[in-house]
């Protein structure tokens, strides 16, 4: 299956933004979980101050992995911007309007 360069541009833009948003959501979810673990540990009902420490260490590593993954995704985005320049797709507002696509391209992008 092949699509036009403009249809590919629209699709890649949508998908990279979606992937970046999902990466942020995953990071926020893990940070909220860390907050919940810390708050639970501070409860008066918990007598041992180090309870859950191993889980927090593992979660901290998982958070770091999310940050590293997001950094790689940003690098992908930067590389794709360079590809756009090489291919000659403009970066100005309206440079890839949907009106410039064929109906068949729009159907494939959707």
Q: Any idea where the domains of the chain sit in the sequence?
A: 5-109
How much is the pLDDT for 18?
Answer: 95
How much is the pLDDT for 97?
Answer: 46
How much is the pLDDT for 99?
Answer: 45
Is 87:5 a contact under the CB 8 Å cutoff?
A: yes
d(CA 90, CA 53): 51
d(CA 75, CA 68): 11
pTM for this entry: 0.70
| Other residues' Cβ atoms within 10 Å of the Cβ of residue 13 | 15
d(CA 66, CA 74): 12
Long-range CB pairs of 52-57, under 8 A, 24+ apart, other chains included = none
Q: What is the pLDDT along the chain (110 residues), one digit of tens a residue?
A: 788 888 888 899 999 999 999 999 999 999 999 999 999 999 888 888 788 999 999 999 999 999 999 999 999 999 999 888 887 776 555 554 444 455 665 566 55
How much is the pLDDT for 109?
Answer: 55
């Amino acid at each position: 299956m092949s699509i036009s360069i403009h249809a590919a541009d629209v699709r890649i833009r949508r998908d990279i933004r979606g992937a970046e948003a999902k990466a942020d959501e995953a990071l926020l979810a893990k940070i909220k979980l860390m907050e919940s673990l810390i708050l639970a540990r501070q409860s008066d009902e918990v007598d041992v101050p180090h309870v859950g420490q191993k889980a927090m260490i593992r979660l901290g590593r998982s958070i770091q992995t999310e940050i590293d993954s997001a950094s790689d995704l940003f690098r992908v985005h930067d590389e794709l911007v360079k590809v756009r320049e090489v291919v000659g797709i403009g970066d100005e507002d309206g440079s890839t309007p949907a009106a410039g696509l064929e109906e068949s391209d729009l159907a494939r992008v959707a």
